[in-house]
């Protein structure tokens, strides 16, 4: 079976976008695609964070972490109402 996926928030260094990508979204997509052929971006963040969230396997998350321009790969956290 397919390894279990969970959501990760991937923080990217916006200024490290390779010039080959005209838009950050293309860079995020290519970064994700380089570690997973099937994962989809849930959200792209551009105002208070730079990066995206996606469902990844542990191995894919670790692979992303090692890519140039990736600052951190944080697993989804569940918050609760107070």
Partner 1 sequence: TTRTPEFLGLDKSDDLVPQANTGSDVVVGVLDTGVWPERKSFDDTGFGPVPAGWKGACEEGKDFKATDCNRKLIGARFFSKGYEASMGPIDETRELRSPRDSDGHGTHTSTTAAGSAVTDASLLGFAAGTARGMATRARVAAYKVCWVGGCFSSDILAAIDRAVDDGCHVLSLSLGGGMSDYYRDSVAIGAFNAMEKGVLVSCSAGNSGPSASSLSNVAPWITTVGAGTLDRDFPAYVVLGNGKNYSGVSLYSGKPLPSSPLPIVYAGNASNATGGNLCMPGTLMPEKVAGKIVLCERGISPRVQKGYVVRDAGGAGMILANTDANGEELVADAHLLPANGVGEKAGDAIKRYLLSEMSPTATIVFGGTKVGVRPSPVVAAFSSRGPNVVTPEILKPDLIAPGVNILAGWTGAVGPTGLSVDSRRVEFSIISGTSMSCPHVSGLAALLKGAHPDWSPAAIRSALMTTAYADYPGGNGGLLDVATGKAATPFDYGAGHVDPRRGMDPGLVYDLTADDYIDFLCALNYTSLQIAAVAKRTNYTCDRKRTYAVSGLNYPSFAVAFETASGDRVGVATVKHTRTMTSVGGPGTYKATVATAVTGGEVKVAVEPAELSFTKVGEKQSYTVSFSAPSLPSGSSGFGRLEWSDGKHVVASPIAFTWT
Largest CA distance in the chain: 45
Which residues, including other chains, have CB under 8 Å from residue 1's CB and lie 6 or more apart? none
Of residues 63 and 71, the one with the C-beta less far from partner 1: 71
For 25-60, give the DSSP string. Answer: HHHHHHHHHHH-SS--EEEEE-SS--EEEEEE-HHH
Min dist. Cβ of residue 6 to partner 1 (A): 7
Min dist. Cβ of residue 65 to partner 1 (A): 10
- Give the separation between CA 57 and CA 4, rounded to whole angstroms: 6
Residue among 19, 20, 47, 66 that touches partner 1 (CB under 8 A): 47
Min dist. Cβ of residue 13 to partner 1 (A): 4
67 binds partner 1 (CB under 8 A): no
Question: Using CB under 8 A as the criterion, which residues of the chain lie in contact with partner 1 when the complex forms?
Answer: 6-7, 9, 11, 13-16, 42-43, 45-50, 53, 55, 71-72, 74, 76-82
């Amino acid at each position: 079976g397919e390894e279990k996926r969970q959501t990760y928030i991937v923080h990217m260094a916006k200024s490290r976008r390779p010039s080959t990508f005209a838009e950050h979204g293309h860079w995020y997509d290519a970064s994700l695609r380089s570690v997973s052929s099937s994962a989809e971006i849930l959200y792209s963040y551009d105002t208070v964070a730079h990066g995206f969230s996606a469902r990844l396997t542990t191995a894919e998350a670790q692979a992303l972490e090692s890519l140039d321009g990736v600052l951190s790969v944080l697993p989804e956290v569940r918050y609760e109402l107070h």
